[in-house]
Structure 1
């Protein structure tokens, strides 16, 4: 079996094999450009009437996920390379914890709302001094 050497120019956008300052500045500026474009697109999506009104929140969620991806790759340099396995696992665990906290809080608030005693206007009037 032959061993295939990896191509030194084959890498993810945030994975920096080179240590030259120009390479770092170019990738940072590219990430900044993508971030600005996504931010402007979010403001445009809210301010325009070209998008169907109920679809605006979906468009904002998609743009927010894209924005997170740009930040992870270009600024935090989180890639799926073999040396970043722990970073990806830590990120996945953090996302899981945040999801569990948000979903659990919504579940608890829904359960509390469902189990509250109904208040009719007669009882509200009697409670007032």
Structure 2
């Protein structure tokens, strides 16, 4: 064997995904450096999204929502990799499944809420059918609301106490 080949454990020690921590605890500086790289990426993506949303100088105006969606997905990827340390390693299977389940629950809540609101909107009586043509009900002489166009009821004083 040549001296250029590394053992499997040596190779796996240097072959890490972005944001993945080393198991040996080789130093706080490397961990902090990973967080600072993630912070730089997250800040850069945030600034880029504000620039895209605030100016159409860099991107065609109808493409702004798509660009913001792409930047948002990239921002989520940076947070998952650098801060939550979600990687594709075999030791992260439970984390990935928990993340997928949480995403499913959030999607069900959002889609279900939109479905219910759309159904309520479709089945709601229109506002002009609920109110008379004159608009808001007006106050009558008794202080109570009366329907416009109806004759007010005569006000009778209460009977005197005997």
Q: Over alpha carbons, which structure has the higher Rg?
A: 2
Give the Å deviation of 1:125.
Answer: 2.7
Give the Å deviation of 1:124.
Answer: 5.2
Moved beyond 3 Å, runs of 4+: none
* Other-structure match for 1:89: 97
- The structure with the largest helix share of the pair is 1
Gaps of 5+ in 1: none
Give the Å deviation of 1:126.
Answer: 5.4
Q: Are 2:22 and 1:14 aligned?
A: no
Gaps of 5+ in 2: 1-6, 139-162
Q: Are 2:44 and 1:37 aligned?
A: yes
> Normalising by the residue count of structure 1, what TM-score does the alignment of the two structures yield?
0.88
Task: Choose from 64, 80, 105 the match for 1:72.
Answer: 80
* Other-structure match for 2:127: 119
- Indicate the larger mover: 90-99 or 12-21: 12-21
- How many residue pairs end up in the alignment? 126
Larger RCO (CA under 8 A, 6+ residues apart): 1
> Normalising by the residue count of structure 2, what TM-score does the alignment of the two structures yield?
0.71
Q: Give me the CA root mean square deviation.
A: 1.9
